[in-house]
Amino acid sequence: MTHPDYPAEVLERAARIRLIGFDVDGTLTDGGLSFDSEGRESKRFHVQDGMGMVLLRHAGIETALVSARPSQVTANRAHELRISHVHLGERSKLACLQRMAANLAIGMDAVAFMGDDLPDLAALRGVGLALAPADAHRWALQTAHWITPRSAGNGAVRDACDLLLHAQGRAEAILAHGEHP
């Protein structure tokens, strides 16, 4: 199986991860916010990102969506993907991740977070593996341990999921099975 040339330090960090949190706007989506004339929000999600999160769940890695913005669209997508840790309207993403880690009885070195901008910096600095999409703001890029090859909303989350699956030796078994879990 071919994969990006992951740095050894990133693989070491990724091998320990038991929980990964994802920011939503600008990470799971391209950051654009669309509203119709009635004020209803819509967002575009990449199907490969969803598949990556499903694969992580089946590999035993907890996934979470952690967003400062409340959004019914995000809640609906999380429900569709059966993501059990959904935290919307979170003012402190780091505190949220710390609570989840404590509830799962894992250290912060076993937590990863992927974010793209200022509201994500404390969380990126406080986890064992900090990830950012290729088009994140430079502050997030400077903080990240690894930057995905693809941009937000265009497969960046899948890139992060694939990194974890590869580092934990699970990607080959998924490919050998060759079907949707």
| pLDDT tens, position by position, 72-94 | 999 999 999 999 999 999 999 99
Angle 98-119-32 from CA coordinates, rounded to 5°: 125
Domain range for 154: 15-177
Please write the tens of the pLDDT for every residue from 105-136.
999 999 999 999 999 999 999 999 999 999 99
Q: Where are the strands (E) in 1-145, listed by range?
A: 19-22, 34-35, 41-42, 62-67, 85-88, 111-114, 129-132
Q: Give the chain's domain count.
A: 1
CATH of the domain at 171: 3.40.50.1000
Mean pLDDT of 6-25: 97
pLDDT at 1: 47
Instruction: State pTM to two decimals.
Output: 0.93
For residue 146, being part of any structural domain is answered with yes
